[in-house]
Amino acid sequence: MANKAKWPQLGVQPQNLHEHAIQLIAEAAALQALDKGHRQKLPDQLFESFLSSVQTYAKKTREAPSSHEILDKLNQIHHIAKTSIADDLTLIKNAVNHAATQPTAKNLTWADRVRMGVPSHPSPTRAPPPVPPSSKEREIVVKLHNPESATLLRQKTPEEIRDKINDTLKQWTNAEQIQIVAAKQLKSGDISIHQQAQQTRTHLGTALNNGCEL
């Protein structure tokens, strides 16, 4: 029993690759600390356990991705994220621009009125007072067709989405006429944008149509 107590513990194999390397270094140092004559009497079972641990560590090292592969994968993920967000912002610009180009009661042309059956000279009845635009009238819902983009935008708060749009619009010359008061992601993944007033649709659409980039 006394002889068995002299031998170092060998063959321990931690799951973590870094910890396994530390364990192998410690076991190798313990073997080197033995005098040559004592080392030659090392039981075969202990020696085989040490070799098995070395083989296991070598296999784990071979299967682990290299630092170059990890960096390449991170670059791919970053590129996909940038592309997806850029595509979704393009959809937002197109949706706002489309809403801005729709004719309203204030800017109907004579041809529009003819197609709609509105008389060129309406009866001189007093028009009712204008009704302030409701929340629904000031809302634009942007459909997101890319699931990855919807997932990425879920990481942003409504304030971050709103501020990003407003910061970009401030770069346009007519920025003082454009203001997004709220923006959020719906449960469906789509984006809901609320403008300050119904009248700002024209200004916002003009800005986006003339090259304002989000």
pLDDT tens track for 135-187: 444 677 777 677 776 777 777 888 887 777 777 667 654 555 567 788 787 88
Residue 183 lies in a domain: yes
Residue 145 sits in the same domain as residue 200: yes
Q: What are the CA-CA distances from residue 209 to residues 69, 98, 141, 196, 198 (Å)? A: 42, 10, 18, 19, 18
Query: β-strands 191-195, 139-142: how paired?
Result: antiparallel
Residue 71 lies in a domain: no
Residue 147 lies in a domain: yes
pLDDT in tens, 78-123: 777 777 777 777 778 777 776 666 555 555 665 566 556 545 455 5
Rounded Cα gap, residues 51 and 149, in angstroms: 49
Residue 56 lies in a domain: yes
10: alpha, beta or left? (left if phi > 0; alpha if psi -120 to 50):
beta
Residue 88 lies in a domain: yes
Residue 39 sits in the same domain as residue 81: no
φ and ψ at residue 43, rounded to 5 degrees: -60, 145
Residue 85 sits in the same domain as residue 173: yes
Range of the domain at 18: 8-63
Residue 94 sits in the same domain as residue 46: no
Residue 175 lies in a domain: yes
Top-confidence residue, 39 or 19: 19
pLDDT in tens, 157-171: 888 877 777 776 676
Looking at the DSSP assignment, which residues form a beta bridge with residue 12? none
